[in-house]
Amino acid sequence: MLINQLPGLNYSFKKPEHLHLALTHRSYGPVNNERLEFLGDAIVGMVVADILFQLHPKFSEGALTRLRSAVVRGETLADIAIKLDLSPYLRIGNDAKNSGARRRRSILGDTLEAVFAAVYLDGGYLEVVRVITELTGETIANLPDIESLKDPKSRLQEWLQSRGREVPEYQLVSESGASHAREFTVECRLVDADVSYIATASSRRKAQQAAAVQMLDHLSKV
């Protein structure tokens, strides 16, 4: 008989087949949870975006993006799946069952996404919002300080400003390559000290960030 509930999941399926399919890994056979995983990944991305948007009305889109990545990445979803004790309910082939811990964690995170899609298909949008809100609540409440999630350029600027120092200058040193494979070389320079670092990347922004990382590293050592 098919089950219509999981112990840690506060939702009863009207159609147990939805849950059944969500728990079936591709190693089990051709009818599996991969399509549900595709849908569930999009669902959890949107629901967590909405939760964070409402929770932090003053945060920039950059801060929201970083917070969301911390919640929806595979590692975090795997942790939630383990807390839910999803593992004994997985329908999985023997090869996958005996694979290493890292692969098993990744399968658990993917399965949780498929379960979210199953709740959505079975109960609708508001039900999946409720379920995801409950399951991610602890993670969202314990997100690392937004500082540590900031991009290097912002961190460098704030590090300097908090010490009464001038903000750094970024200068494009060179630009090369065909239009689809452009390379940007950028210099990050401290205005009030004779220190500069140079980095190259596929966009001006990425090169600036990479140069800022080196500068932060330098400053943390002097």
Give the catalytic positions in this structure.
41, 113
Least Cβ distance, residue 129 to a second copy (angstroms): 8
Residue from 12, 60, 69, 98 binding a second copy (CB under 8 A): 60
End-to-end CA distance of the chain: 66
Structure tokens at 62: 């950059």
| Chain position carrying tokens 């190259």 | 200
The minimum distance between CB 68 and a second copy, in angstroms, equals 8
| Residue 167, token pair as written in the block | 């903000």
Q: Which is nearer to a second copy, 54 or 94 (CB)?
A: 54
Q: Taking the complex as a whole, how short is the minimal distance between the CB of residue 157 and a second copy, in angstroms?
A: 17
Among 34, 75, 85, 166, binds a second copy (CB under 8 A): 34
* Cα–Cα separations (whole angstroms), residue 28 to 33, 38, 92, 95: 10, 18, 5, 10
Instruction: Give the separation between CA 136 and CA 51, rounded to whole angstroms.
Output: 10
- Binding to a second copy by CB under 8 A, coded x per residue (else -) over 121-140, reads ----xx--------------
The number of C-alpha atoms within 13 Å of 85 and in the hemisphere containing its C-beta is 5
7 in helix, strand or coil?
A: coil
**Binds a second copy by CB under 8 A, chosen from 38, 98, 166, 176:** 38
d(CA 110, CA 208): 34
- Is residue 27 part of the contact set for a second copy (CB under 8 A)? no
Query: Which positions lie near a second copy, rule CB under 8 A?
Result: 34-35, 37-39, 41-43, 45-46, 49-50, 53, 59-61, 64-65, 68, 120, 125-126
